[in-house]
Structure 1
Amino acid sequence: MNWRISKAAAVLFLSSFLFPSCEDPTAIGLELQEPGTQIGTTYSDTSTVVASTVLLQDSIIGLGAPNVQVGRVTDGEFGTVTAKTFAEFGPLSFPAHPDSIDVTKGADSLIINLDYSYSFGDTTKTLAFNVHRLTQGFRDDETYYTNEAMSYNDTPVGTVTFLPRPRSTVKSTADTSRTVPVLLKLKITGGFANEVLQTLAQTSTLDAFTNVMKGLAIVPANGSAGEGSIIGFSLLSSSTNLTLHYKSKKNIAKTTTFLYTDRYYNQVQADRTGTPLASFTPTSANGSTLSSTATNNRTYLQAGTGLATVIRMPHLAFFRESDPVAAALTGKKQDRQLAINKAELIIPVVESSVISAQDSAKLPPVISVVTATPSNRMALTQGTQGIPIALTAEGTSQRATLQYRGKQGGYVYVINITSYIQNLLYNRLANNGLILLPSNLSDDAATPTNLAQTVNRAIIEANQSNNAARRIKLRLFYSTAQ
């Protein structure tokens, strides 16, 4: 069906060049037509798009995230990723009569209950986690990032081997009409449980308690026992707690419930030895990049480890190069007036990485699109704690994100960047490129996003050859004044 332009529409179109204060033309109706069928428009998908993988590992805040991660996975493209959790805990309330606690009998046990709903990797394989006692306490004046570690005693105080069952539920024993999440339960006996009991009896404030009991480190066991998947725990869940079982001086069974405080986070480490990303190391500078030409025409994104993709379109000015007719009439070089009717980035995912439903589930749940700086960092708003400057989704006030189209859509991400391209062409924005960030964004720089709470990843086909069957494309529909 042909798109018919009324006389009124034509007048409005021409006035967009005559009156600079008017808004830029929009793409209304263009999404209903195939490339090349728009009357009065020109179509192009051959503009050069250059993509690189960028490392942004030193700016991922983990402190206080709703979820923390523990585990280890190995992947031929991304290497070995290890997640550890460091957490402070304290009693829900101190005993009204601590002198009634018989510390000489010792604690029966300390039960750690962990609610988990996130997983990444092979959950059909059993995992082994160790719990260690922190030897370093949390500080209120420090920000904790996912590339930081805390020191802990080498000897574990407890261990557990289990088959992950994320998002599973069972009927409540207290009320069979409702279900409760399947929890990871870890039982600690002996010396550490006794020390928790003694500290409980000898302190009456949280600060005093945590000054002695600095917290726990939950880490995957060494070797293959701790490898297979990474599990995400919700430390804020009402089902997550620690329960201390002990006896009173009258030999009555007692329990005290402990909760995690607001001081906890997870560390995420990546060993990329032997992978296409091997040059990215823990000591690599923030903003370091690897061109797609150095990584088999691919770029990478992974939350937690700080991998993102930066996209640049260096030759956009070509579309406004000198108008030969105007130059002949005036004898001067003159850029032509041009309106972007619609601009889309088409970003293909490596098909072999998403051919199954399980593979597709490993993709980042959200990929935000933020503007880049010349040094490959994210452009930030002004202030002591700037937040990334994101593109605005066309026709809304919401932040722009990539939209994934699965098998039926050709395994690609798509985003409409019409206004962004129009602004670049008229020098209203600096052409520093865009960063594809495998995370949502927060309005508060100190609020952890899922960049700190997952390790989901994507592999992008980033071939720069126009002859490549699958490559990043900038699809442009544009019109020029006649």
Structure 2
Amino acid sequence: MMRTLWYAGLLLLTGFIVVACQSGDLNVGQSVINPQGLLVQPIDTITVQASTVLRVDSFATSSSGALVVGQWTDAQTGQMTAKSFASLNYVSNSLASLTNIQLDSVVLELGVAFTYGDTTNTFALNVHRLTRPLVSERTYYTTSTADYETKPFLQTTIGPQSVTGTPVIRLRFPDALAQSFYSKIVSGEINDETTLANYIPGFAFVTPSTTNCFRGILNSRNSAATGIRLYYHSTEPTSTGTAPASQNILFTTNSVYFTQLSNNRTGTPLSALRSRSDAVSSRLTDNTSFISWGAGLQTRIELPYINQFALPANYAGINSAVLVVSPVRNSLRDNTAPFTTLALYEINSQNEIITAVPGAASGLAAATANYIYDQSQLTLNDTYTFDVTYYMNQLIRGRVPNRPLLLTFSPDPQNGLSLQNLIQRVTLGNQQRPNDQMKVQLYLTSGL
């Protein structure tokens, strides 16, 4: 895990998720004004400027326990493509010592861990052979690559589906290739990792589909669903006269593997992002901004006039302050779930994290927010709501500098960033968007 991610995670270790409260604490200001003369005044016209910034990093995926293949194309953010690469593990077996056995089939089995995106269209999967094995001593990152043959040797198309449970994609070897592989196992020509790699160095998993969809493939050591499975049976008659049961051996792909993520923003408004100091206003991207770790995109928020609005007479303090952020999403059935939790950080002009924004009324916890949704009505009402009462009090009183804020995904402090998190994304509306607006709501305590 990269240094930035660890730093961000450590900032949140002592924090907890807070739920915004619009009624606030009516004790604010009681030491200044008689409680009977207090008035809570709502304000939701604070200017919020949003933009998308570039924070590119590479992540080790050679120990992620999964592979991902797919692509996502968006007119605003460009294209993100995921390819995966894996070598085979040799499994000790007794086939060379057996007699009277017969090959049934050889099948490449891929257990589907998750599907992210559009499952209403078909999804094509091409499997290419690597030109050389992956190196077991090497750490592979999202920016790594490996050479593979141009022509796929296995292909399949997955139909529209509702993915439940742990489905398995099966690609049967052509008969000639299956027989060749079986013969080399039985003859003992393939008898260890090296001889297996000489015959099949490994696989590259690629999709030619233009559907916005990613497929996650199980590849952890406790998974028995990913690898080459050789099916065979005995030709000896059984004592009961029934047909001999089929047996199998699985050559897994869970030793050396990785996922590559590549991005192309050419021709999009975000093509202007070339360095960490760059920012593209949400007004140039259909009044939206973006968070996608795999694409290196995060959202920057600025409150340029927070110290300039007129405070009411007898101002005593902020009763409550919340930042409301709304994903641009039509329904819960689109299988593109936003991040579970977002976090706020103060940043500098280079969009580098300085510190976590203090949350709640006490400021003792980091400002984080869970994704909350309600679809009891005809339209989806979903938001992230940050309690920033303490921070806004300090900001309005001039006790802290008015720095830009970074709105980004908050990884689990214990488990870190997963491969699924890397391909996940969320589109956020800005203050000018007709629906799904970003806004700051203040509830000020003042005297009557």
| TM-score normalized with structure 2 length | 0.72
Aligned pair partner of 1:340 in 291, 315, 318 = 318
Alignment-derived partner of residue 92 in structure 2 = 94
After TM superposition, the structure 1 = structure 2 runs for residues 223-242 of structure 1, keeping only pairs within 5 Å, are: 225=209, 227=211, 229-236=213-220, 238-242=223-227
Matching residue's letter, 1:434: L
Q: Identity of aligned pairs, percent? A: 24
Query: What letter matches 1:264 in structure 2?
Result: Y
Cα distance, 1:84 vs. partner? Answer: 1.5
How far is the alpha carbon of 1:137 from its aligned partner? Answer: 4.4
Instruction: Please list the CA deviations of residues 60-84 of structure 1 after superposition, one character each: whole Å capped at 9, or x if unmatched.
Output: 4433334432223444444443221
User: For the residues of structure 1 that align with 2:359 and 2:197, how far apart are their CA atoms?
Assistant: 44
Richer in strand (by share): 2
1:415 is the counterpart of 2:389 = no
SS in 2 for 1:231: strand
Distance of aligned partners of 1:207 and 1:422 in 2 relative to their CA distance in 1, 3 Å threshold: farther
Higher relative CO (Cα under 8 Å, sequence separation at least 6) belongs to: 2
Inter-CA distance 197–343: structure 2 relative to 1 (3 Å threshold) = farther
Which of 249, 269, 272 aligns to 1:256? It is: 249
Q: Counterpart in 1 of 2:406? A: 435
Corresponding residue SS for 1:308:
strand
CA–CA distance in structure 2, aligned partners of residues 238 and 345 of structure 1: 42
Shift in Å, 1:473: 1.7
* Alpha carbons of structure 1 residues 138 and 203: separation in structure 2 relative to 1, 3 Å: same
TM-superposed CA distance for 1:219, in Å, is 0.6
The offset of 1:187, in angstroms, is 1.6
Paired letter, 2:319: N
Q: Is the 8 A contact 1:60 1:448 kept in 2?
A: no
Alpha-carbon RMSD: 4.5
Rounded to whole Å, the distance in 2 between the matches of 1:380 and 1:209 is 50
- Are residue 373 (structure 1) and residue 347 (structure 2) matched? yes
Q: Which moved more, 1:187-196 or 1:116-125?
A: 187-196
Matches within 5 A, 1:50-129: 50-91=49-90, 93-95=91-93, 97=94, 99-100=96-97, 109-129=105-125
Which one of the candidate residues 287, 291, 302 is aligned to 2:292? 302
User: What CA distance in whole angstroms lies between the structure 1 residues aligned with 2:372 and 2:253?
Assistant: 37
Structure 1 CA distance for aligned equivalents of residues 210 and 308 of structure 2:
54
Kept in 1: contact 2:103–2:233 (CA 8 A): no
Match of 2:260 among 261, 267, 290: 267
Match of 2:432 among 458, 463, 469: 463
Amino acid at match of 2:407: L
Compared CA separation, residues 4 and 255, structure 1 to 2 (3 A):
closer
SS of 1:57's partner is coil
SS in 1 for 2:148: coil
Aligned match of 1:216: 203
Aligned residues: 407
Q: 1:173 — aligned with what?
A: none
1:294 CA drift (Å): 2.7
Matched AA of 2:421 = L
In structure 2, the CA distance between the partners of 1:184 and 1:394, relative to structure 1 (3 Å rule), is: farther
Tell me if the contact between 1:369 and 1:391 (Cα under 8 Å) persists in the aligned partners: no
Q: Partner of 2:391: helix, strand, or coil?
A: helix
Secondary structure of the 2:390 match is helix
Counterpart of 2:300 in structure 1: which amino acid?
Answer: V
CA 1:308 to 1:207, structure 2 compared with 1: closer, same or farther past 3 Å? farther
Unaligned runs of 5+ in 2: 1-22, 237-243
User: How far does residue 163 in structure 1 lie from its aligned partner after superposition?
Assistant: 1.0
Contact persistence 2:102–2:235 (CA under 8 A): no
Equivalent-residue separation in structure 1 for 2:182 and 2:98 (angstroms)? 12
Alignment pair present for 1:364 and 2:363: no
Structure 1 pair 210/297, CA: closer, same or farther in 2 (3 Å)?
same
The alpha-carbon deviation at position 424 of structure 1 amounts to 4.2
Matched residue type, 2:259: N
Could you list the runs of 5+ residues in structure 1 that have no partner in the other structure?
A: 16-37, 170-180, 326-336, 382-388
| CA gap 1:13/1:112 in 2 versus in 1, 3 angstroms | farther
| Match for residue 355 of structure 1 among 321, 327, 330 | 330
* Rounded Cα–Cα distance in structure 1 between residues aligned with 2:319 and 2:29: 16
When structure 1 is superposed on structure 2, of 305-314 and 389-398 the one drifting more is: 389-398
Q: Distance in 2 between matches of 1:140 and 1:367?
A: 35
* CA-to-aligned-CA distance 1:154-184 (integer Å, 9 cap, x gap): 2222111221535335xxxxxxxxxxx4311
Post-superposition offset of 1:101:
7.6
Corresponding residue number in structure 2 for 1:168: 164
Contact 2:49 2:430 in 1 (8 A): no
Distance 1:126 1:4 in 2: 50
Further displaced range: 203-212 or 62-71: 203-212
Kept in 2, the 8 Å contact 1:60–1:451? The answer is no
**What's the offset of the Cα at 1:481?**
9.4
